[in-house]
Structure 1
Amino acid sequence: MLGLESLLFLIEVGTLIPLIKTNKIKYNVEEEGGCDDLDQGDNGWKIIHTDVFRFPPFKSLLCAVLGVGAQFLTLATAIIVMALLGMFNIHRHGAINSAAIVLYALTSCVSGYVSCSFYTQINGQRWVWNIILTSALFSAPLFLTWSVVNSVHWWSGSTQALPATTVLLLLGAWVLVGFPLTVIGGIVGKNRAGSFQAPCRTRNIARQIPPQPWYKHTFVHMAIGGFLPFSAISVELYYIFATVWGREHYTLYGILLCVFAILLSVGACISVALTYFLLSGEDYRWWWRSVLSTGSTGLFIFVYSVFYYRNRSSMSGLVQSSEFFGYSLLTALVFSLMLGSVSFWASLAFIRYIYRSLKMD
């Protein structure tokens, strides 16, 4: 029979051998596999490396937001550069509006390409529906808002109401130019889309997300991520509103370009910080959160428009109120889409970078 010391020795050896094997599997990671299915840390952002690249719900809507946001980013940059080059008459507000309409139709290919390309990368199957949703994401609210505002003008007998021929002309420009370019851009983006570059493999079963404190909830991140970019442009917003709705003439396009660059930079940095803050709590649902956190700047802009209407303008009545708030809602939507797209790409680049570095740990 075995002695007590021999028995204890066998028990100790039987306990250590599985532990040694487990540690060997854990730390001898194959280079070709990138991140494996084992945990790289005890807590924090490393432990969710097998879930952080899990594709989000509502893929088509997310890609449509990214596509239209990229389109407005291109449009806004082109308008500011054209104004900086002196291509617009400062005494005519309609020149910029006409240029914006033409550029919106011509840049529709950008939204189709970005949306359908990323939709294909994240294994989206209904690419035709994705193109239709991308084309209607902003044009449908624009047409609805414009219909309400123009109907109020017609009912009030205002001379600012557009005639039926102009309405048909604008609708024809979208049908013959805007929508076809969206379809063409979507087809090109689908055919040229590569694979989704994820440095870590994703498990079939999702990890359970631990309870999060109140300061990591979506609304708190939206309040922080929306207020900071808004504070960067709040001063310039007064002069823009005074130019659009008042009798002022805006000429500081160089400063406007700098403020626009600061807005995008602040939005990207805040999104990266909030995304890391989210991942550190072992919450991998960053896809939509990155869009909403900085995209909420549009809500602050609309709140500012209400403040401007009540305290800075002399507008009143149904006609002026419907026009002001209708187009202010569209402006807030444009900023939400544009900044949401910028913040998402910044967060995606940041997440790819930090999880790619796990191979060197």
Structure 2
Amino acid sequence: MMSAISLNIGSLLAFIICGIGNILFRSTLANNVYKNGEKVILYVNKVGPYSNPQETYHYYHLPVCRPLEVVHKKLSLAELMNGDRMAESIYNISFRVDTPKTALCNKFQYKASELISMLRAIEANYYFEFIIDNIILRNFLGNVEEISIFPHKHKVFLFTHHHFIFEYNNEEIVHAKILIDRERPHRIDNAFENNLPVDVTFTYSVEWKESKVRRSQADIVHDSFFPKSFEIHWLSVINSSLLVFLLLAFVVLIMIRIIRSDLSKYNFGNEKEANDFDDHGWKVIHGDVFRSPKYLNMLCAILGVGVQLLTITATILLIVLFSLIDEHTHGLINVAALVLYALTSGIAGYVSSSMYKKLGGERWIFNINLTFGLFSVPTFMVWSIENSISWAYKSTQALPYQTVVLLLALWTLIGYPLTVVGGVLGKNFPHGFCDVKNDVAAYRVRQIPRELPSALGFYHSPLAYGFVGGFLSFRSTGFFVLTYALFFYCQRSQMSGFFQTSQFFGYVFLVCYGFFISLGTVSFFASWKFVQYIYSNIKTE
């Protein structure tokens, strides 16, 4: 009976994983080859303000030339997560066939409402994005020319001609770019003065060039349209690492001298000195230091999720470092993180339950559920708010309901069962995670907790100790990242508007929350091993 249930569960998980893989790699792994004269489909994707990376809308959201029936491309999960909404365009492009200046459609007559929509888009510095054979093309809809500051006047121009340049190697497209005609744009702001409809003719041209670069060697997705500020500066990383290790070495040397001095007095000093240290030294709390904390479930859940997040981070860094996936491909890293989060849920359950057993916990079901929801529930709540805002703004960042169902299935049918399995293993087989010889059971814990002085000021409270002790290290890094994000938003970026602000700070909060949990886990285990070491080397009665 149990084997049949296990087989059914395994088959279900395999089916879900295969389905996710099919959706994930449906189009990201496509590598098209073309014959001479074969039609190449150009997809229009999205538009949005240049300064607001997350504020994107469908290209046909604007009044532009479009087909009679809009045909959308089937997208992978990675592309949907990236906010892509590709639709076939009416550009007639054939492989290795140059096209002179050609009208895209009949004269496009702008109504007053359509003209206002296009005018506002250009004033907001909107860019557009096309995709051909998984190569991204971006440029601006138009530009604004300032006339005077006071009174403020400006001219608004619409770019009406697109020139495509494609580079090919044998049967493959290896590079592409789109140029706009800045010399002869169409002015549209003066139409309100004449109170007449505006007729605009959109044109395009195509140029093909031979290249010796193979597609596998070309960085076909990377472009320089957006400023790139995330390149790794290895020299700075090495300098920072050396500084950290140097400071760490100094602290370790100081701590070793202090601990050795105290241990020699505790273990080899005369009786009078030992009694004096018993009254006021750190030995005095040896019977309480390993007592289970008050909020044991929360502590163990934080440790489990922290180890899980550290595992995900390390795995993604290794994947990118060894170029196992193309980090530029339409949000592939985002989907990799989601899949890894589900698959590593067992690690969170195992670590949490192992520590829970060591510290004498008894509410196992609550511990497993808390571990599962500690990070996923806040993430789901933030995403729900942001996705609702995206729906209200009709942005492409809003996920379709089919994708939402898929992600919920990934979360509940893979993540939760693995958390339960990890929790059961951690409860019954904790020895693989921690050293039993140096476990809590090896130390005596007083049956009656030591009474703490009640006349001390607020600066002796647990909250004050926690704030001072962790202000410059470990989980406090999450607060520093949040502070810098606020500084970056106000002083470094040009982001604006409620939509972009909510998107930015909503997901920055989740990143900082992840820092808070994962680095707090590092600090706990470092402190745990340190306290175990010093108290295992003193003589107790």
TM-score grouping bracket, smaller chain normalisation:
0.5 to 0.7
Matches within 5 A, 1:175-194: 175-193=412-430
102 and 343 in structure 1: CA distance in 2 versus 1, 3 angstrom threshold: same
Q: Would you say 1:334 and 2:517 are equivalent positions? A: no
AA matched with 1:76: T
Q: What's 1:204 paired with?
A: 447
1:221: how far off? 4.7
Instruction: Name the stretch that deviates more: 92-101 or 338-347.
Output: 92-101
201 and 166 in structure 1: CA distance in 2 versus 1, 3 angstrom threshold: same
Q: Would you say 1:222 and 2:467 are equivalent positions? A: yes
220 and 201 in structure 1: CA distance in 2 versus 1, 3 angstrom threshold: closer
For 2:313 and 2:291, the matched residues in 1 are separated by: 32
For 1:163 and 1:226, the matched residues in 2 are separated by: 42
Instruction: Name the stretch that deviates more: 304-313 or 136-145.
Output: 304-313
1:40: how far off? 6.5
- From 305, 309, 320, give the equivalent of 2:485: 305
Contact kept, 8 Å, 1:39 with 1:46, in 2: the verdict is: no
Contact kept, 8 Å, 1:53 with 1:198, in 2: the verdict is: no
224 and 310 in structure 1: CA distance in 2 versus 1, 3 angstrom threshold: farther
Q: Would you say 1:323 and 2:503 are equivalent positions? A: yes
AA matched with 1:201: R
Q: What's 1:262 paired with?
A: none
Identical counterparts, % of pairs: 48
**C-alpha offsets along residues 196-240 of structure 1, whole Å, 9 cap, x if unaligned?**
43543111222223437838864465356343x4xxxxxxxxxxx
Contact kept, 8 Å, 1:153 with 1:160, in 2: the verdict is: yes
Contact kept, 8 Å, 2:327 with 2:333, in 1: the verdict is: no
223 and 163 in structure 1: CA distance in 2 versus 1, 3 angstrom threshold: farther
Q: Would you say 1:96 and 2:341 are equivalent positions? A: no
Contact kept, 8 Å, 2:292 with 2:359, in 1: the verdict is: yes
Contact kept, 8 Å, 2:359 with 2:440, in 1: the verdict is: no
Once superposed, what is the RMSD of the aligned Cα atoms? 2.5
For 1:82 and 1:319, the matched residues in 2 are separated by: 32
Q: What's 2:296 paired with?
A: 59
For 2:478 and 2:397, the matched residues in 1 are separated by: 27
Name the SS of the counterpart of 2:382 in structure 1: helix
For 2:424 and 2:402, the matched residues in 1 are separated by: 32
1:44: how far off? 1.9
224 and 307 in structure 1: CA distance in 2 versus 1, 3 angstrom threshold: farther
AA matched with 2:393: S
1:159: how far off? 1.6
1:160: how far off? 1.5
Name the SS of the counterpart of 1:56 in structure 2: coil
AA matched with 2:467: M
Name the SS of the counterpart of 1:42 in structure 2: helix
Q: What's 1:289 paired with?
A: none
AA matched with 1:87: L
Q: What's 1:112 paired with?
A: 349
Matches within 5 A, 1:31-180: 41-92=278-329, 94-180=331-417
Contact kept, 8 Å, 1:223 with 1:296, in 2: the verdict is: no
Name the SS of the counterpart of 1:100 in structure 2: helix
63 and 55 in structure 1: CA distance in 2 versus 1, 3 angstrom threshold: same
Q: What's 2:188 paired with?
A: none
TM-score by length of 1: 0.67
1:157: how far off? 1.1
1:42: how far off? 2.3
AA matched with 2:500: Q
TM-score by length of 2: 0.46
Name the SS of the counterpart of 1:358 in structure 2: coil
Which of structures 1 and 2 has the bigger CA Rg? 2
189 and 104 in structure 1: CA distance in 2 versus 1, 3 angstrom threshold: same
1:315: how far off? 1.1
213 and 172 in structure 1: CA distance in 2 versus 1, 3 angstrom threshold: closer
1:316: how far off? 1.1
For 2:318 and 2:457, the matched residues in 1 are separated by: 44
1:299: how far off? 1.6
For 1:317 and 1:191, the matched residues in 2 are separated by: 52
For 2:290 and 2:532, the matched residues in 1 are separated by: 9
Matched residues, number: 261
Query: Which ranges of structure 1 fall in alignment gaps of 5 or more residues?
Result: 1-26, 29-37, 230-293
Q: What's 1:232 paired with?
A: none
1:142: how far off? 0.6
Q: Which structure carries more helix by proportion? A: 1
1:193: how far off? 2.5
